[in-house]
A and B are shown apart, each in its own frame.
Chain A
Amino acid sequence: MAHDTAHTDVIPEQGHLEHKDYMDSHDGPAWGGGKRPFKASYGKLMMWYFLLSDAFTFAGFLIAYGAIRFSMPTWPVPDHVFSAFPGGFHGWPLIFVTVMTFVLILSSVTMVRAVQEGHRRNKRGVMFWMALTIIGGAAFLGCQAWEWNTMINEEGVTVTKNPFSTHLQGGTYLTGAEIEGAGFEKVMTETHGKTATYYLEPGAEDIEENRLFVKQNHQKEVLAGESFKEEDPYLITYNHDTHLYEPSAFKTPDGSIHKEAFGPIAFGSLFFFITGFHGFHVFSGVVFLLIILINVASGLYHNRSNNYEMVEKIGLYWHFVDLVWVFVFLVFYLL
């Protein structure tokens, strides 16, 4: 009987069709039932539902990020964390990520143009605008690679260490003499062929948690003696010579000596995972755009005579990637 039922998918005769545009569809006999659900092709509708499921995935990540951030008494200040710019510039809050956002918006615009040219069946136009879209996507990935590299290799953020945090009280960074004056012992150790200088409480074990450093930034400028206010952001310096983080000593107005604490651990893993997952979407998008561009060039979609619907589908995906970035940009960089 199974053999018979395979033939029940009878194509209705043309006279029975309700919609004139039915014959434009290349999904066979309108999904087999004679009518196109939601007047959309199967492929396009399923792309929408795939994007909906992807939105749930991203929302899950953003919920994790938001819930953890809300549950913390402090959080790294984005304007301080994201303030580097290619060419060795520092202290330019949010400028680089704004450039990244523009790149993605531009590539979204070129994608819309590619779809429009597809509706006119202009093969050269589709190819031109798709090529620009691919360049935009690749440029975005390049920007992200630079951003990650700066954070990991220069500033020392990893999935388990977050040197960015915020002062909970005002104070002043101490010089070496002041730390020794407060009864700490100066220790000098050879590590990675360089000398690390730090201070320990007398009798305290020489482990990472007990070491106090004199504040200096990544350019090796000593900042001891500088004051800061409550809620000022700070970065625990990662010394590239000694491969050590240098949590520095400071004195609060009540005279007690404290050490810079690491920021919320989850920051690094959330940032790298969520922007990485988005970057992976961009990367997959670039790969699919390339494949479809090659197919466009071969004339495959032209011969299908469905107004380059494949370009429209990858366009939906590409805009979704831009859409996710709107929210990643909002929660990681703006707020």
Chain B
Amino acid sequence: MADLSYEDSKKLVFKGMALLAVVTLIEVAIALVGKGYVIEGFHLPVWLMYISMIGLSLYKAYFIVYEFMHMKYEVKGLAMSVLLPTGLLVWAVIAFFNEGNSWNQRRTLIKEKNAETIDDTRKSTGSIIDLKDVKNLN
């Protein structure tokens, strides 16, 4: 802040506004074009949409914290004491999303198992669960 003149920092603010607005518009455009609302029959790959939208959102977050909240002008210790714990959160988010995905898979597996008919003629192997189930669980 101190390094910039008043006029310069004023300009920077409105540049920031334009940047955030444009990034938001791009995100919405990706969502709408990618899902085929704009051009009939045209779809973007889901992974490409998700990665670009998540990436752009993270960029917006970075911009708000560093420019609007002036994290850029704080000493490194302050920035790290706030940003490192936030980094742990990102890890938690990824971990729990994977967990949710695993619940989904297990529920599907249980449904399949419930629908299965028991083969009475099968010989006991001594194992508590079938080998193919072990494979499914992993």
Contact = CB atoms under 8 A, between A and B. Distances in A.
A81 to B, nearest CB: 13
Consensus secondary structure, chain B interface: helix
Contact of A63 (B16, B65, B78, B93): B93
A109 B13 contact: yes
Interface residues of A, number: 50
B85 A335 contact: no
B31 to A, nearest CB: 5
B37 A63 contact: no
B93 A330 contact: no
A66 B78 contact: no
Contacts of B65: 319, 323
B24 A38 contact: no
Contacts of A322: 64, 68
Contacts of B75: 38-40
B104 A73 contact: yes
Given A70-B100, A79-B37, A319 B68 contact: yes
Consensus secondary structure, chain A interface: helix
Interface stretch (A7-15, A98-106, A248-256, A291-299): A98-106
Contacts of A123: none
Contact of A93 (B21, B37, B74, B107): B37
B42 interface: no
B44 interface: no
A243 interface: no
A195 B16 CA distance: 57
Interface string B10-43: 1001101100110011011001100101000000
Interface string A62-90: 11001111111100000100000000000
Nearest to A40: B78
A101 B78 contact: no
Given A79-B37, A116-B9, A327-B61, A66 B96 contact: yes
B1 A119 contact: yes
A116 B13 contact: yes
27 contacts: A40-B75, A56-B85, A59-B92, A59-B93, A66-B100, A67-B100, A68-B100, A70-B99, A70-B103, A71-B103, A73-B104, A73-B107, A101-B24, A105-B17, A105-B20, A105-B21, A105-B24, A108-B68, A112-B16, A116-B9, A319-B68, A326-B60, A329-B57, A330-B27, A334-B27, A334-B31, A334-B57
Given A105-B24, A116-B10, 10 more contacts: A52-B86, A68-B100, A70-B104, A71-B103, A71-B104, A79-B37, A106-B17, A108-B20, A319-B68, A334-B57
